[in-house]
Amino acid sequence: MTKPLLLSKLTFTYSLLLIAAFWTACTDSSSAPSDDVDAGVDVSAEDAIGGGDAPAPPAIELTPKLCDDPSNLQAVLGSLGADGSTDDGGGLGFDEDELQKLIANPTERFYMVNLIKYRERAEYADGRETDLTGREANALYDPLPFILAMGGRIVYNSAVDQQIDGGDDVVWEDVAVVEYPCPIGFLAMVTSPEFEETRIHKDAGVETTRVMFTALQPLLAPTDPDQSEAAFPPTAEDPAFDLIHVMDFHDIAQYEPDANEPERTGQEAWNLYQSIGSGVSTELGHYPTASFKVTGTLVGENKGWDEIQIIHMSSQAGFQALLDNETQQEGRYHRYAALADNDSMILYPQISAIPYVDDGGGGPTLPEVTPNGTGTVCQEDGDCPDASFICLSDRGAGGFCTPQGCEAGTCEGSYLCCHDCNPAMVNQLPFEGSACFPDGLTPALTNAPAFCTCD
């Protein structure tokens, strides 16, 4: 019996077709509210992820090959000023210290997360008269040809339905996530004269924005992505939605004096909060769809943002059941101790195509095949070279063979033995007890909510 692998978009080229079908199901507009959804780009989901009849690329040298040569960075920085500052950058408004963080890894793929609030009425810098609202002006901003030309794509796009936490200073209206092949390509885009012609509409329409560059963290994929088995499944009247958390953790968790808790970091307190509630969330059909480590804030307030999580919720009824759950409530004080600042929002996305595992943009590659047969491509257990092996597959789209019941240090090659996982998650894992996993995929098991040990 083939074991369904909970690491979607794993390392098999043929699994991409399955993931594309899953994305299509997730982005079915029939389940979303009827309000117009826009996140600063007026495009279809198919165009944004690189399919369909996309607009023609701009007449500038924006190609994925820009990322192949780190020396291209200096030419791009020349458009920002000799020292890489933004004083001559056409009013881009980049924070100089954060810009240095971005260009520290000039050829590496990253994800730009944008939070947007619009002006009530558009205001153009050239003083032109207009009757456009801020959102309408921003809809004229069209970065898609530039993004596609360099090998990037828009992977998430949604209006904010409701802000349920944070918002003391800004109530956000849109969220967008763009996958860029490298900082060189991004900076080449924003400093080009052709891009400036379309960016004037964004500047006219947007009152304030927070632009964070991030690294995608591996995640476990759901066992029931359509949530049909959830206690409160989605319906036409109560559709599924996304809950996004943008978080700044305390360096040291701030518990009440009588909490009798050991000293731990804010990140550790948040992980503990998630661990306590993971079993309840699974039963209710909720599952994480994206986790980003924030590496810098290029534009906007608070440079201390640490992590962004997107959780797919089965329904509003299921969300309320989670809030009312006694176990969840008992662990909530860890959340309060963990967070120095946060924004939490409810979204019904128009585009939802964030991969579970970042394949580096060059396409998935097969895992190493070791002498004992670990990593052998398989469709079912019978394809494996040893009867003790199991086939870990991406819902039948293909997989690899691995020994089950390993111990620390016994896996061959670059594989690690993952074991002693969160008891609340054992029934959701694709193996029993322990199994060997490629080193590059173990973060999906060692992080929340699985919390396995891989060594």
Calpha distance 262→280 (Å, rounded): 25
Instruction: Name the least confident of 34-43, 92-101, 208-217, 383-392.
Output: 34-43
**% pLDDT > 90, the chain:** 42
Residue 279 one-letter amino acid: G
Taking residues 53-64, what's their average pLDDT? 60
The predicted pLDDT at position 12 comes to 28
From first CA to last CA, the distance across the chain in angstroms is 27
438 falls within a domain: no
Phi and psi at 79, nearest 5°, equal -80, -15
Rounded to 10 degrees, the C-alpha dihedral 189/190/196/199 comes to 110
Q: Give the integer Cα–Cα distance in Å for 427 and 433.
A: 10
pLDDT of 6 higher than 70: no
Q: Is residue 211 part of a domain?
A: no
120 vs 61, residue with greater confidence: 120
Residue whose tokens read 């440079």:
303
Tokens 């349920």 found at: 164
Domain that holds residue 330: 241-352
- The confidence score (pLDDT) of residue 353 equals 83
204 within a domain of the structure (yes/no): no
For residues 199 and 346, give the distance between their C-alpha atoms in angstroms, rounded to a whole number: 28
Does 82 have pLDDT greater than 80? no
Asked if 290 and 354 touch (Cβ cutoff 8 Å), the reply is yes
Mean pLDDT is lowest, of 175-179, 214-218, 273-277, for: 273-277
| Higher per-residue pLDDT: 85 or 393 | 393
Q: Are 314 and 359 in contact (CB under 8 A)?
A: no
Calculate mean pLDDT across residues 310-327.
92
pLDDT for the residue 48: 55
Size of the chain, expressed as the number of residues it contains: 455
Which residues partner with 396 through β-bridges? none
Instruction: Tell me whether residue 177 is in a domain.
Output: no
pLDDT computed for residue 339 by the predictor? 95
- Which of 87-91, 368-372, 425-429 shows the highest mean pLDDT? 368-372
**Number of neighbours of residue 44 by Cβ within 10 angstroms:** 16
**142 occurs within a structural domain:** no
In a domain, 446, yes or no: no
pLDDT confidence tier of residue 173, bands split at 50, 70 and 90: very high
284 touches 346 (CB < 8 A)? no
pTM over 0.85: no
Helices (H), 339-414: none
More confident residue, 200 or 59: 200
Nearest-angstrom CA–CA distance, 182 and 51: 21
Task: For residues 369-381, give the mean pLDDT.
Answer: 86
The pLDDT of residue 307 is above 70: yes
Question: Residue 189 — pLDDT band, cuts 50, 70, 90?
Answer: very high
Positive or negative: CA dihedral 283, 289, 293, 299: negative
Q: Which of 293, 50, 44, 65 is nearest to 152 (CA)?
A: 50
Share the mean pLDDT of the chain.
80
In a domain, 334, yes or no: yes
In total, how many domains does the chain have?
1
Strands ordered across the beta sheet of 453-454: 435-438, 415-419, 453-454
CA distances from 326 to 218, 277, 284, 322, 329 (A): 30, 10, 14, 9, 5
Report the CATH number at residue 290.
3.30.70.100
pLDDT digits (tens, 9 = 90+) for 190-242: 888 888 888 999 999 999 999 999 999 887 767 677 788 888 999 989 999 99
pLDDT surpassing 90 at residue 95: no
pLDDT at 2 over 90: no
From 41-50, 208-217, 223-232, 369-378, the region with the lowest mean pLDDT: 41-50
Average pLDDT value for residue range 281-298: 90
- Per the CB < 8 A criterion, the answer to whether 305 and 204 are in contact is no
Task: Report the range of poorest mean pLDDT among 158-162, 212-216, 431-435.
Answer: 431-435
Locate the DSSP E strands across 250-394: 287-299, 307-313, 339-347, 351-352, 377-378, 389-393
Contact 296, 101 (CB under 8 A): yes
Strands 3-4 and 389-393: parallel
Q: Does residue 258 sit within a domain? A: yes
User: How many helices (DSSP H) and strands (DSSP E) are in the chain?
Assistant: 12, 16
Return the closest-CA partner of residue 300 out of 212, 215, 177, 213.
212
